Amino acid sequence: MEAQAPFSREEINSTVWEVPEKYTRLKQIGTGAYGSVCSSINEKTKEKVAIKKLHRPFQSEIFAKRAYRELRLLKHMKHENVMMISLSIFIPFPFSLCLFVPSYLVMPYMFTDLSKVRGCLSEDRVQFLVYQMLCGLRVTPFLSQDLKPGNLAVNQDCELKILDFGLARSTDAEMTGYVVTRWYRAPEVILNWMHYTQTVDIWSVGCIMAEMINGKTLFKGKDYMDQLSQIMKVTGVPGSEFIKKLDSPEARSYIKSLPRFPRKDFSSLFPTASAQAIDVLEKMLVLDGDVRPTAELALEHPYFDSLRDPEDTREPEPYDDSHDNDTLSLDEWKRLCFKEVKSFVPFPRRDSKRKNTLTMSQ
């Protein structure tokens, strides 16, 4: 936790911010139900950072549990391609349990997100960005189910971080809510047809990769049924082996009633992509989640041979989820949050071995 220092106080969009004086030029860049995010300059290091203020973390047991889980996950995600509290935590009060509010999290600032990057991207950029998505997913101990361009922060040098836990930047009016989530959501999740695993996120990566190559959303369904119809016009309608896996009788009947769409030729869908890029897409965009590769297996594809670094794909650390299903009192959740803040140690940044000369503006 950051040592106590002189604090300054200012109001930004009707929210009072109390931050150490070294953080200047605060500007709101995002807001949500659980917090607001401002960009700022650390005058001591001259580094631009993002500061998140948690909204009323101890308003109720539900809010407190979420604050605790966010602190736990952000501290756990020690990887360059996942947004984490790598810099600091601070509170504008004397550091004691009775006054404790875990108000502010300091994280690296990211220039924009993929939802604001328009048009087709060159293949070397697509390759590098998809590689980083997979590296980030490799170390996450949970299913995202919400991976979309607006939750992928990028810098001018093509550095990417997966945003989650309510930390996504604000996006354009069109790119919000369930509509955009549906466009990138795996078919097995859309109607809860069957059990699903972390390959639901691989489907999302495939959709995002396809969009970066062609410059437009691959499956832009008007509703859930239209979304599924658009998906199957590309993947083909599945056969009896897949239908047997479906838990829902209604889902089985629905699939059987569909016209027999054949699987489309991906080389015609993505005429500018290389053979290896098309092979990656074909493996990710498979209707049956059991057949899709995990992030670990996807990273072994030859498409990523020029980028692969053992440090990027290291084994994820075990995540302690012992309190995730607990029903505790407000004071107990507060005590757990206090413990997390006290034990916080900044994440040491390593010198990346990636030989990256790419920029988003080239």
Told to judge if 146 belongs to the known catalytic residues of this protein, a careful annotator would answer: yes
Task: Identify whether the C-beta of residue 107 lies closer than 8 Å to the C-beta of residue 161.
Answer: no
Active-site option among 146, 164, 201, 312: 146
Q: Where would I find the H helices in 217-293?
A: 224-235, 240-245, 249-257, 266-269, 275-284
DSSP helix/strand/coil, 23: strand
Among 317, 293, 310, 290, CA closest to 352: 310
Rounded distance between C-alpha atoms, residue 231 and residue 224, angstroms: 11
Residue 355's DSSP bridge partners are none
Task: Identify whether the C-beta of residue 208 lies closer than 8 Å to the C-beta of residue 152.
Answer: yes
> Which token pair is 59?
């308003």
Q: Is 53 annotated as a binding residue?
A: yes
CA-CA-CA-CA torsion for 250, 285, 266, 246, nearest 10 degrees? Answer: -20
DSSP, residue by residue, 234-256:
HH----HHHHHH-S-HHHHHHHH
Task: Identify whether the C-beta of residue 30 lies closer than 8 Å to the C-beta of residue 300.
Answer: no
Q: What phi and psi, each to the nearest 5 degrees, are found at residue 250?
A: -65, -40
Rounded distance between C-alpha atoms, residue 115 and residue 222, angstroms: 19
Q: Which positions make up the binding site? A: 53
Q: Which positions make up the binding site for ATP? A: 53
> Which residues are designated catalytic?
146
